[in-house]
């Protein structure tokens, strides 16, 4: 990892989100599409390594929370400047009620 790269850490919930997204894609569109879609989500996660402040802060949802659109989903994360770490909290479909999902979840 270069000096300017941040570490991207997925929460248990984010890992479960990715697994659910993948399973849903397989069910709806098949494994080739699911593989491609998941690869594009991982490309967005990799983008956060080099630019953790890429998109906007979402203080209206939670202090320090940031969001990054990724295909039909939104990656919600925090950036710990002191540790140079991106903490991915969850990955939600853009049509979901994000405030409701954040309040009903545990990490």
Condensed to tens digits (0 to 9), the pLDDT of residues 35-62 reads: 999 999 999 999 999 999 988 899 888 8
Nearest CA to 13 among 85, 76, 98? 76
Per the structure, the complete domain to which residue 45 belongs is given by 7-103
- Check residue 3 and give its pLDDT: 53
The CATH number covering residue 36 comes to: 3.30.2310.20
42 in a domain, yes or no? yes
* The total number of structural domains that make up the chain: 1
- Check residue 1 and give its pLDDT: 46
- Give the Å distances, CA to CA, from 68 to 3, 13, 27, 40, 43: 23, 17, 25, 13, 12
107 has pLDDT over 60: no
22 in a domain, yes or no? yes
Question: Would you tell me how many other CB atoms lie within 10 Å of the CB of residue 30?
Answer: 10
Secondary structure class of 79 (helix, strand, coil): strand
63 in a domain, yes or no? yes
Instruction: Tell me the pTM.
Output: 0.88
Q: Which two tokens stand for residue 34?
A: 């699911």
pLDDT, tens digit, for every residue of 12-34? 999 999 999 999 999 999 999 99
């Amino acid at each position: 990892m270069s000096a300017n790269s941040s570490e991207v850490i997925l929460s248990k919930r984010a890992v479960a989100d990715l697994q659910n997204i993948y399973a849903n894609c397989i069910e709806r569109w098949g494994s080739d599409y699911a593989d491609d879609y998941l690869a594009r989500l991982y490309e967005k996660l990799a983008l956060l390594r080099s630019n953790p402040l890429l998109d906007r802060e979402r203080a209206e949802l939670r202090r320090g929370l940031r969001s990054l659109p990724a295909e039909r989903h939104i990656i919600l994360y925090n950036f710990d400047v002191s540790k140079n770490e991106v903490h991915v909290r969850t990955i939600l479909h853009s049509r979901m009620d994000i405030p409701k999902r954040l309040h009903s979840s545990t990490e």
